Amino acid sequence: MSAQPSTQARVTVNSLRDKKAAGDRIVCLTAYDASFASVLDANDVDVVLVGDSLGMVIHGGDTTLPVTMDDMLYHAKAVNNGLSRAMLMVDMPFLSYTSVAMALDNAGALMKRAGAQMVKLEGGSDQCDIVSALTAHGIPVCAHLGLQPQRVHKIGGYRVQGREPSDAEHILSEAQALQQAGADVMLLECVPAALAAKITSELTIPVIGIGAGNRCDGQILVLYDVLGISAGRIPKFSKNFLQDSGSIADAIKAYTEAVRTGAFPADTETFT
């Protein structure tokens, strides 16, 4: 039986801000098609991300770099067809925002043609002009710091970022700059829990963590990791919620409850 669509109001940027202000944790997951999206939507996931991680978990690649705008548009449109409550966030793929004009064209396409409510892009203060231009034209932005998969070759692999004091200060400074530029949400990937907690407390915008401890305003994981069906090794910061559940829907419920109560991530899923 397919999941029933939610009758709750659609999650918005203001909804996420209100959750941060109230101390209510934000639940996020990735999805790449309408069927999974409808299950997430029916089980009260707040934000569904069509991530360029599809290049690895759907296409079977080693990195996210080959993912194209056409890929993102196709999957985002499919996911949007499965949503009625959750916010739809969509990744800007590698080299799709190298100029303000390009960023506006591509982000605009994701919103007009695929139904995106927010776009996500990687990079620090070097992206402030892009973030400012997008927000000035009514496009909500999630900034992405810490481990940035689109820069995997530049940073030397999939490694925890911000362990050295100078690196931690740099990430905090970058987060503040992106917020000042107009970012609506911050995503922190693979950073020490203490650093993520500090950034979360100092920013006024919601902070979503993945491999960033449980003191962020919310959490996100790759759905395929949550279900234990990703090829290869599941990251330390993830957890298979399906193995102790009777169905995919129950696994999603277990994940949402664990995030909202602060039970996930536990110390074993956290970097120091």
Other Cβ atoms closer than 10 A to 83: 24
Question: Of 122, 164, 174, 189, which residue is the catalytic one?
Answer: 189
At 209, give phi and psi (nearest 5°): -110, 150
Catalytic, 164? Answer no
CB-neighbour burial class of residue 219 (10 A; exposed 0-12, middle 13-18, buried 19+): buried
| Long-range contacts, 112-115 (Cβ 8 Å, 24+) | 113/73, 113/77, 114/72, 114/73, 114/76, 114/77, 114/80, 114/88, 114/90, 115/76, 115/77, 115/80, 115/88
Phi-psi region of 228 (alpha: psi -120 to 50; beta: other; left: phi over 0): left
Distance CA 119, CA 209 (A): 17
The catalytic residue positions are 189
